[in-house]
């Protein structure tokens, strides 16, 4: 009788331990909370700046060798993610239709960039946190190439426009942490002009020009 009772007690204890083993371990209540990572954006989300704050057209006119004053066209509303999107327009008097027809004959069917046309477009993105490694990885993943002709950390995309291969740039700006997208205007196929726009944008867009109001 004693043996049977002992066996019953042992079996009950064993079953209890087995059931306990199936239970999840109790939560540790004194564990340290996960570390909080503080992320600071170059500019607050939703920031939009006027082009005449971001760009001094006289600086670009000098860099590009433009004799007439460059004017700005603000296209920021067309890109909701952009802090600013600014077209730089060639200055001077625009030829009329007859003058343009004569120019077409002399130029072999290509007018080029006329006064009032866009030389280049500079678009600024400052509302994401960007790292050099991620920027370069994304550039190559898109099939583009790195380019050093317009300064450090630049991504070059080549776009076929008819018979022309036209360059477009994205630049990671060290001073501001912003990404600058620079492309030529619709009629611009001179890659030297586009590269000059990109180099000028990199040096010209300082933190003070991209300061939130």
Residue 188 belongs to domain with CATH number? 3.40.1000
Beta strands 118-125 and 84-89: pairing type?
Answer: antiparallel
| SS3 track for 26-52 | CCCCCCCCCCCCCCCCCCCCCCCCCHH
Domain extent at residue 126: 51-204
Q: Considering the domain boundaries, does residue 97 fall inside one? A: yes
Residue 108 domain-assigned (yes or no): yes
Would residue 176 count as lying in a domain? yes
pLDDT band at 22, cuts 50/70/90?
very low
The total of structural domains in the chain comes to 1
16 part of a folded domain:
no
**Measured CA angle at 207 (ends 156, 202), to 5 deg:** 25
Domain membership of residue 89 (yes or no) is yes
**Within a domain: 42:** no
Q: What is the pLDDT of residues 110-120, one digit of tens each?
A: 788 999 999 99
- Decide if 105 contacts 95 (C-beta within 8 A): no
Q: Quick check: 27 pLDDT over 60? A: no
Between residues 20 and 53, which one has the greater pLDDT? 53
pLDDT digits (tens, 9 = 90+) for 188-206: 999 999 999 999 999 999 9
Q: What are phi and psi of 159, to 5 degrees?
A: -115, 125
Confirm whether 18 is domain-assigned. no
CB 195 within 8 A of CB 167: yes
For residue 59, what pLDDT is reported?
Answer: 97
pLDDT beyond 90 at 44: no
- pTM exceeding 0.95: no
- In this structure, are strands 71-74 and 179-184 parallel, antiparallel, or unpaired? unpaired
**Looking at the predicted structure, is the pLDDT value of residue 18 above 70?**
no
- For residue 106, the model assigns a pLDDT of 78
| Band of residue 32 on the pLDDT scale cut at 50, 70, 90 | low
- Quick check: is 88 in a domain? yes
Residues 6+ apart with CB under 8 A from 146: 136, 139, 140, 153, 154, 155, 156
Residue 61: name the closest of 170, 156, 197 by CA.
Answer: 197
pLDDT at 123 over 70: yes
């Amino acid at each position: 009788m004693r043996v049977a009772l002992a066996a019953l007690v042992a079996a009950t204890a064993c079953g209890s331990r087995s059931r306990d083993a199936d239970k999840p371990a109790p939560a540790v209540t004194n564990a340290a909370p996960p570390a909080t990572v503080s992320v600071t954006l170059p500019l607050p989300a939703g920031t939009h700046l006027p082009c005449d704050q971001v760009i001094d057209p006289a600086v670009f006119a000098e860099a590009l060798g433009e004799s007439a004053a460059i004017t700005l066209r603000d296209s920021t509303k067309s890109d909701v993610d952009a802090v600013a999107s600014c077209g730089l327009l060639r200055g001077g008097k625009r030829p009329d239709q007859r003058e343009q027809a004569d120019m077409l004959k002399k130029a072999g069917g290509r007018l080029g960039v006329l006064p009032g046309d866009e030389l280049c477009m500079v678009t600024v993105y400052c509302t994401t946190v960007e790292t050099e490694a991620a920027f370069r990885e994304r550039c190559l993943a898109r099939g583009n190439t790195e380019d050093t002709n317009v300064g450090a950390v630049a991504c070059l995309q080549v776009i076929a426009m008819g018979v022309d291969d036209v360059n477009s740039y994205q630049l990671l700006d060290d001073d501001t942490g912003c990404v600058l997208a620079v492309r030529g205007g619709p009629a611009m196929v001179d890659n030297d002009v586009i590269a000059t726009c990109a180099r000028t944008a990199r040096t010209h867009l300082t933190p003070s020009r991209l300061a939130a109001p």
